[in-house]
Amino acid sequence: MIDLCLIGIGTGNPDHVTLQARAALCEAALVLVPRKGVGKEDLADLRHQILTACDSPARVVEFEMPLRDETLPYAVRVERWHDAIAERWSEIIAREDLSGPVALLVWGDPGLYDSTLRIAARLHPAPRLRVIPGITALQALTAAHAIPFNTINGAVTVTTGRRLRDHGWPEGAETLVVMLDGECSFTRLAPEGVHIWWGAYLGMAEQVLVSGALAQAAPQIIAKRAEARARHGWIMDTYLLRRQA
């Protein structure tokens, strides 16, 4: 049975890596690093920088991430994609002579809008699993804007861009945090009385922030997002929406 450690590494800033994560990286025998295609080399390079900064002695093996079949229904597409990723992990692990744990560096936190845990559950035999928490995009966003996550005694709904597009503002919700939105789904909302706090490359030198009333901020976000994506070839962003009294 292998030991598999999923390590949250924050949102791109090596300073986000906790002491617990650093210790786990120093204990690992093998680290798997995904490559996500042309224009996204920075994502793998940042992982290498973190390993170097932590003085990890682990052997590092890169693998190409499989592509999703966009012709399939969404749920089927994702399930098959996860199967393919797990198969690539298994192939690499099977040919390694392991003397310690296998580790994966997970953007943000392994438990928040990330599928690494679901992929790990597909491995056979099942590994001994350890999860190291990381700083999330939600924490990095509220810190960057210096705002509280919630109002006094207020609830927060965390959702996806897809659900916001398909179902609109959830009934009764006061504060929304939207993850995984590549289509600026806030443009589908009636903007009256809504404030937005948006951020991309949170915690990194490239960080971009916009906040304000949704009606005025939305065009700025769309323009800055397109410019940043064109410059870097990729973008990770998230935002918080709140109805103002």
Read off the pLDDT of residues 140-156 as tens digits, 9 standing for 90 and up.
999 999 999 999 999 99
Q: How far apart are CA 164 and CA 176, in angstroms?
A: 10
For residue 212, give the 3-state DSSP assignment: strand
pLDDT at 139: 96
pLDDT at 233: 87
pLDDT at 218: 98
Question: Is the pLDDT reported for residue 120 higher than 80?
Answer: yes
pLDDT bracket for residue 84 (50, 70, 90): very high
Structure tokens at 177: 């945090």
pLDDT at 37: 74
| Cβ burial, residue 55 (10 Å; 0-12/13-18/19+) | exposed
Radius of gyration of the chain measured on its C-alpha atoms: 19
Question: What distance, in Å, lies between the first and last C-alpha atoms of the chain?
Answer: 55
Asked if 137 contacts 236 with a C-beta cutoff of 8 angstroms, the reply is: yes
Question: Is the pLDDT reported for residue 80 higher than 80?
Answer: yes
Asked if 10 contacts 114 with a C-beta cutoff of 8 angstroms, the reply is: no
Domain spans in the chain, listed from the N-terminal domain onward = 3-135, 138-243
Question: Is the pLDDT reported for residue 245 higher than 80?
Answer: no
pLDDT at 112: 93
Residue range 106-123: mean pLDDT, rounded: 96
Q: Is the peptide bond before 14 cis (omega within 30 degrees of 0)?
A: no
What CATH number labels 138-243?
A: 3.30.950.10
β-strand pairing of 237-243 with 175-179: antiparallel
More confident position, 245 or 209 = 209
pLDDT bracket for residue 78 (50, 70, 90): very high
- In this structure, of 45-49, 86-90, 190-194, the range with the lowest mean pLDDT score is 45-49
Which residue, among 188, 198, 199, 195, has the nearest Cα to 216 in the 3D structure?
Answer: 195
Which residue, among 21, 41, 34, has the nearest Cα to 130 in the 3D structure?
Answer: 21
Nearest 5°: phi and psi at 13? -95, 120
Residue range 15-36: mean pLDDT, rounded: 95
The strand pairing partners of 121, in sequence order, are none
More confident position, 178 or 41 = 178
Q: How far apart are CA 198 and CA 216, in angstroms?
A: 13
Residue range 181-200: mean pLDDT, rounded: 96
Which residue has tokens 């960057």? 144
Question: Is the pLDDT reported for residue 36 higher than 90?
Answer: no
Structure tokens at 127: 């590994």
For the entire predicted model, the pTM comes to: 0.90
pLDDT at 30: 97
pLDDT at 244: 85
pLDDT bracket for residue 111 (50, 70, 90): very high
What CATH number labels 3-135?
A: 3.40.1010.10
The strand pairing partners of 242, in sequence order, are 175, 195
Question: Is the pLDDT reported for residue 165 higher than 90?
Answer: yes
Report the share of the chain in percent with pLDDT over 70: 99
For residue 51, give the 3-state DSSP assignment: helix
